[in-house]
Structure 1
Amino acid sequence: MSVRFGVFVPQGWKMDLVEIADPVEQYEAMTAVARAADAGPWDSVWVYDHFHTVPEPTVNTTFECWTVTSTLARDTSRVNIGQMVGCNGYRQPSLYAKIASTVDVASNGRLYAGLGAGWYEHEWKAYGYEWKEVPQRMGEFREAVEIVHRMWTEERPVFQGRHYSIDGPINEPKGVRKPHPSFWLGGGGEKVTLKLVAQYADACNVGAGDPDLIRHKLGVLRAHCDKLGRDYDTIIKSTTLELNPAAPMSETAGRVERAVEAGADYVILYIPRVAYDHEPMLRFAQEVIPQFS
């Protein structure tokens, strides 16, 4: 099975730009990673949708997700650009659909539009968003996914839900990729998220590289697909791995292989310190990616 690979750019969220003082130079360091990926065998580059750093909020750079996505779309020419994943609570879903459609055009159809329910309570409250418990966030997420999909596929969609409503919005252009921008849903919730993947999504992201968890979550997804009549094989099954630059590439390749054996067909890497040193990313591209082509 052929496996595709993506890589996160250093956006600041994981304190991965703190050694660069000037914000312009920080942005250029992020862009340089995207351009290096664009020149190589990578399928995609990725960003997070967060406002504050982890593991705790600090007064340091975190570049905004959709601004980054749109600029990287113009700074690259080949790779897809995605979010892992956009936070539903930060944008009304019809606006999200409009933004994504615009960026899909700006990138000439290279957008991987990611969406999830959100979880980072501190930044919700700090930015003035109402923090809601899991049942409400998941209820909103369920409605949002349907709205986004309908905004991309219907001329004047109408939807009246418990949390959101739309009344015939015109969303033109809808994007470049057909039949609509590539829709990636993040999270492994078995009753809501994975069912939504089977209903609406082009891709999922599960398991955080853990083979047992990947296998289990994809089994749940397959069951949802069977019940809904969706072809399981048409869905991209991605997982994320953090690369240890000090580890032998053979060890990293083994981790990828175990994830693939569990059912993943797409691997997205986070590479610490890639803002300062591209060598581990380039070495992975040369030594590991060809093994799974």
Structure 2
Amino acid sequence: MKLGLHISNFTWPEGAPRLGAVLGDVASAADEAGFDRISVMDHLWQIHVIGPPEHDMLEAYTALGYLAAHTRRAKLLTLVTGVVYREPGLLAKAVTTLDVLSGGRAMLGIGAAWNEEESRGLGLPFPPTAERFERLEEALQICRRMFDGDETAYQGRHYQLGRLLNSPLPLSRPHPPILIGGGGEKKTLRLVAQYADACNLFNGPDVEHKLDVLRGHCEAVGRDYDEIEKTALFNFDLGESGERVGETIEGLRELARKGFTVAHGSLRNAWDIKQFELFRNEIMPAAQAL
């Protein structure tokens, strides 16, 4: 099993004046510890499940560019970009830029968006659910074509692009991997089967059913279910002095049993980089054996 570090909280003890330096140290430590990928949320306010909206939050693609300069191996992505936050042409260009400057380590994480409060507060579009999913499918089509170098004009219901020029093209082949976040059975998982290289699900009691639904969508569109990477959100809580390492490894073992190959995990007090030695020495070897 591969591990991903998901950095979702930037309200750290030394505050904004040291946030850049500490974030760079965290990314470097995670990269050296063997994390396969590092992700950030695509939010502009903190989300309520983590803290109040006034807590520190960084814009995602600026942050990922910074992380690219502080890492050598880890893939870089959002979990996940809300489709209505950026026009698809600009999004494809941002991911391509990240891929080129990182040496081919970018992924496109994308979903239908959900944070209406944030969107209304900052004047971002937030159309009804059905339209957001229509826009998601069109954005996936546009990004795939731009990653592939297809410059043909695009005429969709919501997006019209005259020329899909994207120069330089991404370094990743055949394209930066596309991950779709969410477990909606009728729309989201169908889009995974049709367009994505990976899915990301909440590890809830119905997660195995969600994977069965995805398998059915793959059969319907003629897609090989096994070629889609199955990733799940995970909580890395190692305890104050590493006393929960065993519980963490057991949680990863349970994820692997369900069919997941990647755990995207938030780490309590990620700014405390001493924790990454536990990953390097104990958790990574155990995860790689799963």
TM-score by length of 1: 0.91
1:174-212 per-position Cα deviation (integer Å, ceiling 9, x unaligned): 200101111111111112211111111111101x233x4
Superposed, 1:14-29 pairs within 5 Å as 16-17=11-12, 19-21=13-15, 23-29=16-22
| Paired position in structure 2 for 1:39 | 32
How far apart are 1:241 and its partner, in Å? 0.7
SS for the counterpart of 2:33 is coil
Match of 1:221 among 192, 214, 221: 214
Q: Which of 60, 71, 74 is equivalent to 2:66?
A: 71
Shift of 1:126: 1.2
Shift of 1:73: 0.9
- 3-state DSSP class of the match of 1:76? coil
Question: Which whole-Å deviations, capped at 9, do the CAs of 1:203-255 have from their partners, x for residues lacking one?
Answer: 1101x233x43311111111111121211111110001112232521111111
| 8 Å Cα contact 1:253-1:288 kept in structure 2 | yes
Structure 2: runs of 5 or more not aligned: none
Answer yes or no: is 1:169 the counterpart of 2:169: no
Q: Is the 1:98–1:174 contact (alpha carbons within 8 Å) kept by the matching residues of 2?
A: no
**How far 1:150 sits from its partner (Å)?**
1.4
Partner of 1:7: 5
Secondary structure (helix, strand or coil) at the match of 2:277 reads helix
Q: CA deviation at 1:10?
A: 5.4
1:263 partner amino acid:
G
In 1: Cα distance, 2:280 partner to 2:207 partner: 23
Structure 1 residue identity aligned to 2:36: D
Q: How does 1:77-116 map to 2 (within 5 A)?
A: 77-116=72-111
- The sequence identity of aligned pairs, in percent, is 33
1:129 aligns with 2:124: yes
3-state SS of paired residue (1:111): coil
Deviation at 1:157, TM superposition (A): 2.7
Matches within 5 A, 1:182-221: 182-206=177-201, 208-210=202-204, 212-221=205-214
- Which ranges of structure 1 fall in alignment gaps of 5 or more residues? none
Residue 206 of structure 2 aligns to a residue whose secondary structure is helix
Q: Which residue of 2 aligns with 1:282?
A: 277
Instruction: Give the aligned residue type for 2:90.
Output: L
For the Cα contact (< 8 Å) 1:79–1:110, is it kept in 2? yes
2-structure distance, mates of 1:203, 1:151: 19
Q: Using a 3 Å threshold, how does the CA distance of structure 1 residues 57 and 163 change in structure 2: closer, same or farther?
A: farther
Amino acid of the structure 1 residue aligned with 2:3: F
State which of 252, 263, 271 in structure 2 corresponds to 1:256: 252
